[in-house]
Amino acid sequence: MLAGSQRTKNRSPDHSGQVNASTQHRGFESPAVLLSRHDLRALGIAVSNPTLLLWEAECKFPKRLTLSPARVAWLQHEVLAWIESKAAERHNAR
């Protein structure tokens, strides 16, 4: 889990046990929590990487952040908003 991996002095645990990666820009602080593939599975999003890539290309799922050539992550608030939108679609379909 990226959110709980190696902690640095710029990161602090939040109430959920995950770690916020704080970013500073022009004097203000904006917490961002990153989710790994493992975190997506823990949220119930257990689909293959090709499926995620397709959904992202079709704007059906939040786009990943490339952290390094071998590491990607998603912004937690975007993924949670996607889950909420899927739940709303289910309620609207009734």
Give me the helices (H) in the chain, please. Answer: 37-42, 49-57, 76-92
> What's the mean pLDDT in 32-40?
96
Per-domain residue ranges of the chain: 2-92
Q: Over the chain, what is the mean pLDDT?
A: 80
Which H or E run contains 59? none
For 56-91, write each residue's pLDDT tens digit: 999 999 999 999 999 999 999 999 999 999 999 988
d(CA 77, CA 54): 20
